[in-house]
């Protein structure tokens, strides 16, 4: 099933991204990462953008070779503020066991879910994909927004056992901690509360129902306790905007108070971030007026447009800062903070903007006041 016919095929791959290497990366994704089994329904969602379409077709073939029953669905490129096509949302209603999203930017929001959230076991979900993955746990998945051929081929074939060990060790520390302090040479100095929060791992093991994450994989991440983040973040790597990712040329200084970005410094890159934040605040209120958000939720989504929603630590040894956040946030010697919605579903927003901090020192503090250093000037300690 395809929303729009594509014309690309793997014969268009450049010499530096050969078909054999792509096929091997796709095989690893479908076998080692997802462990697709005979007869399983596999939904592959992509855009008619050359590189993501080529990758998606390789994944389609790899899923077929595993004995899966893949279906390829295409829609036009979507940004953080766009809705997925109705036919894409409808494809989820077939309840696939495996979902693969390889998009030029984003999958797209669920118009039905955001206007009237789905409920499961007392929790609400604003996207049918999140309902099935996190709520019902009826599928497993990976998603690769903005992935390139070169990055996919380079960063997918890694030692997943070692990545899993690193993620587990860091998650064990973060989940026990009551707070964490991050400092960096660029000027970052921020403390965030972690009480009641559980760290999550993007470790590349998405073989069980309810498991999912990015590919390339490689981070430990946690949602800060709401209202607890205080200090300064100086983004000096790359950052996501509503419609693109950029490598930062002039560091962006964000003053953080009571969990929210209170001020953003001047400069071209800072102004681009501020434009996205203002857009998210304004569109949240407009969405409510148009019936796209439940009554009373416009103000909530607008406020959380400046929420500090994530602290993540990059752990993929083959990742580097390229200007594509999918890979950038996995790079060694970096951490990232996200502005916008979090992963604990108690701070909804229209955006989730990841921004990198280089060479961080990360210290987690326990209930008894003792500190555990996770990274020292970008060097892993754990």
**CA gyration radius, the chain:** 20
Q: What does the alpha-carbon distance between residue 337 and residue 210 come to, in Å, rounded to a whole number?
A: 24
Q: What is the tens place of the pLDDT at every residue in 147-182?
A: 999 999 999 999 999 999 999 999 999 999 999 999
Indicate the burial class of 308 (C-beta count within 10 angstroms; 0-12, 13-18, 19 or more): buried
Cβ-contact 353, 361 below 8 angstroms: no
Q: Which helix (DSSP H) or strand (DSSP E) does residue 287 occupy?
A: helix 268-289
CATH topology for 10-150 is: Rossmann fold (3.40.50)
pLDDT band per the 50, 70, 90 thresholds, residue 17? low
Strands 200-202, 98-102: pairing is: unpaired
Q: Which helix (DSSP H) or strand (DSSP E) does residue 313 occupy?
A: strand 308-314
pLDDT band per the 50, 70, 90 thresholds, residue 5? very low
Q: What does the alpha-carbon distance between residue 266 and residue 137 come to, in Å, rounded to a whole number?
A: 44
Region 356-363: what's the mean pLDDT?
Answer: 98
Over 90: is that where the pLDDT of 135 sits?
A: yes
Give, as one character, the DSSP assignment of residue 224. P
Residue-level pLDDT at 382: 83
The dihedral formed by the CA atoms of 106, 32, 212 and 178, expressed in degrees to the nearest 10: -120
pLDDT band per the 50, 70, 90 thresholds, residue 184? very high
Q: In what order do the strands lie in the sheet with 219-222?
A: 200-202, 219-222, 308-314, 334-340, 352-358, 238-240, 245-247
pTM for this predicted structure: 0.87
Residue 15, both tokens: 């010499």
Q: What mean pLDDT, rounded, does the chain reach?
A: 94
What is the separation of C-alpha 237 from the centre of its chain, rounded to a whole number of angstroms?
17
Parts of the chain belonging to CATH 3.40.50: 10-150
Q: 319: helix, coil or strand?
A: coil
Over 50: is that where the pLDDT of 20 sits?
A: yes
Over 90: is that where the pLDDT of 13 sits?
A: no
Q: What is the tens place of the pLDDT at every residue in 307-351?
A: 999 999 999 999 999 999 999 999 999 999 999 999 998 999 999
Residue-level pLDDT at 18: 86
Nearest to 288 by CA among 350, 341, 333: 350
């Amino acid at each position: 099933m395809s929303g729009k016919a594509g014309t690309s095929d793997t014969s268009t791959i450049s010499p530096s991204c050969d078909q054999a290497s792509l096929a091997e990366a796709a095989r690893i994704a479908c076998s080692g990462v997802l462990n697709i089994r005979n007869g399983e329904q596999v939904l592959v969602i992509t855009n008619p953008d050359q590189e993501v379409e080529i990758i998606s077709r390789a994944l389609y073939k790899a899923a077929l070779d595993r004995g899966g029953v893949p279906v390829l669905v295409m829609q036009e490129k979507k940004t953080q503020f766009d809705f997925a096509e109705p036919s894409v949302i409808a494809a989820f209603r077939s309840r696939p066991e495996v979902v693969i999203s390889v998009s030029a930017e984003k999958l797209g929001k669920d118009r039905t879910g955001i206007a009237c959230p789905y409920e499961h076991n007392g929790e609400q979900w604003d996207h049918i994909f999140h309902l099935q993955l996190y709520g019902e746990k009826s599928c497993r998945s990976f998603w690769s927004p903005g992935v390139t051929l070169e990055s996919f081929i380079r960063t997918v074939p890694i030692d997943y056992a070692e990545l899993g060990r690193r993620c587990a060790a860091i998650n064990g520390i973060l989940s026990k901690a009551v707070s964490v302090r991050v400092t960096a040479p660029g000027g970052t100095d921020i403390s965030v509360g972690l009480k009641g929060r559980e760290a999550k791992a993007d470790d590349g093991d998405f073989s069980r129902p309810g498991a999912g994450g990015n590919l390339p994989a490689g981070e430990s991440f946690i949602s800060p306790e709401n209202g607890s983040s205080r200090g300064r973040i100086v983004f000096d790597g790359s950052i996501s905007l509503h419609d693109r990712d950029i490598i930062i040329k002039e560091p962006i200084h964000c003053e953080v108070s009571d969990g929210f970005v209170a001020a953003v410094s001047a400069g071209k890159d800072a102004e681009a971030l501020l434009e996205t934040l203002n857009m998210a605040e304004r569109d949240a209120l407009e969405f409510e007026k148009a019936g796209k958000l439940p009554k009373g939720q416009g103000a909530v989504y607008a406020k959380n447009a400046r929420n500090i929603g994530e602290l993540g630590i990059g752990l993929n040894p083959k990742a580097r800062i390229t200007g594509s956040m999918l890979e950038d946030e996995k790079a060694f010697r970096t951490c990232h903070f996200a502005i916008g919605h979090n992963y604990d579903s108690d701070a909804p927003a229209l955006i989730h903007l990841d921004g990198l901090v280089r060479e961080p020192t990360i210290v987690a503090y326990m209930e008894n006041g003792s500190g555990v250093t996770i990274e020292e000037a970008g060097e892993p300690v754990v």
